[in-house]
Each structure stands twice: as structure tokens, then as C-alpha cells.
Amino acid sequence: MSDLHKIEVVFEKNGVLAVNKPAGLPTQAPWGIESVESLIRRQKFHQHFEDAIESGGTRHPGGFLGVPHRLDRAVSGVMLLALTPRAARQLSRQFERRQIQKTYVAVVESTDALPVSEEPFIWRDAIRKVSGEPRVEVVKTHDSHAKPALTKGFVLASSKDRYLLKLHPETGRMHQLRIQAACRGMPIVDDALYGSASMEDIENTRHQPIALHAWSIEYDDPENKQRVAAHASVPETPRWMCWRDVISSRMQSESQ
């Protein structure tokens, strides 16, 4: 396995594995398609994984690895995996109860000036899945198929018509941050699914990396209940390079 196909491990502690997911890679996929799960299994369990696959075993090949949450294929950043059933149950329960705090950074495009401010903005919307399509839409709050979506955020920096946002989703709806930004006229950079791409282009572009990164995640340790924070640096790619310094300085100052 080449270094290009390795997943960065942030840390491993008390049955929890924090990793830095690359953009463009699915969290899970059918056998034969590379994903975070399959690559971590190869890295973590080595020959046990290969032996299990060769013998036809597909249930926890190599050892237990729980996936209590996911990141969109187009999104990079920190995510949590469970190495024990106990850790998997504890993390799943925390996600269900909204006890896990996630922080994202996003680069958006906007023709309207967005002031850099210490004051947060709040996005409240009703979101529903678009039937037969791989996307969601914002609808009226009284729609029976819609679910509430709440996000808090800040404008951290700006450069011409692009803005760096810090986003805290309070709910975990499908494509929540992507549709909430887009419906306000500030689509995430390179997000063709919620940008200007035609429906004919979407199937070819919807998995391409976008400028949305899960920067940190906080959870209660399954063993000692202490609060733990895992962080993942933004990718070293052109879409992020001009923002790396401001992200690093702002995030580090807030964690002190």
C-alpha cells in the first residue's frame, strides 16, 4: 500500500480512533472500492485483514471497526472510528443525543460583502431530501417531509469575493452546511452540486473535493467520560494554502 493510499491517524485512545479523512474518498463503500473503512482495516489489521478477505470473510475482516458517523465523500477532515463494540455504542449514543460538537471551516464565494466579525451568525432552515436525486433542498418549515437544520458560524477572513467561515452544525442533516451556505448566495468553493452545475454535470462532479473541512470534533471518552478534542489540519492543496495561517492562528488561540 503506497503512502497515497494511507489514512492519517490523529490518535488512538480507549477504543476510539480519530483519523483525518482525505477529500474524494468515501467513508464506507462496497468491497472492492477503496474507502476510509477499508484502508484503515488494511493499516490497522494488516495480514489479518488480507487473510480474512481471501477466505471470504466480510464481517469485521481483521477485527472490529465501528463507523458511528460519516463525512461526505467530497469533504475532508477529522472523523471518529470505534475499535471496540463499547466505544461504538458510546459514540453512537452521543451522536444521537447531540453531545458531540463539530467544527468545520469552509471557503465560500459571495458577491455580497460579508463582514469579518466576532459576532456569530445563525442559520435556521427546514431541509428535505430531493426525491430521486443525490441532494437536499431548503423548503418551508411546515413541509411534512422536512427536518430542522441549525448552524452557528463566524466569518474568519476574506479575500476578494471569497470568505473563510467557521461553522458549528447543531444538527446533522444530509449536506446541511452545503445547502445552507448555497441557499444564502454563498456556495462552498468547488461544490458543483449546490453551485452552478447543470444536472447533467452533477453525476460527474458531485464526488470532487470541495472547500469544506471538518477541523475538530469533541466527544466524551467512552472509558473515563473526560472531554476529548481531536483536530485535523486542512489539506495542503491550492484551495486551502492561502487560508492555512489564519485557520491555524485562530483555532489555536481559541483552544488555549
What whole-number distance in Å separates Cα of residue 194 and Cα of residue 122?
20
Reading the block at residue 101, the C-alpha cell is 460538537
What whole-number distance in Å separates Cα of residue 222 and Cα of residue 2?
33
Catalytic residue, from 72, 161, 191, 201: name it. 72
Give the type of residue at 159: S
Reading the block at residue 20, the C-alpha cell is 483525518
H or E element that contains 77: strand 76-82
What whole-number distance in Å separates Cα of residue 7 and Cα of residue 40?
7
Over the range 10-44, which residues count as b (16 or more CB within 10 Å of their CB) and which as e?
Answer: beebebbbbbbbbbebbbeeeeeeebbbbbbbbeb
103 DSSP β-pair partners: 216
Contact 247, 234 (CB under 8 A): yes
Residues, the chain: 256
DSSP letter string over 179-218? Answer: HHHHTTT-PBTT-GGGTT--HHHHHHHTTS--SEEEEEEE
What whole-number distance in Å separates Cα of residue 212 and Cα of residue 165?
9
Q: 42 by DSSP, 3-state: which?
A: helix
Reading the block at residue 88, the C-alpha cell is 461504538
Is 201 tagged catalytic?
no
Residues designated catalytic: 72
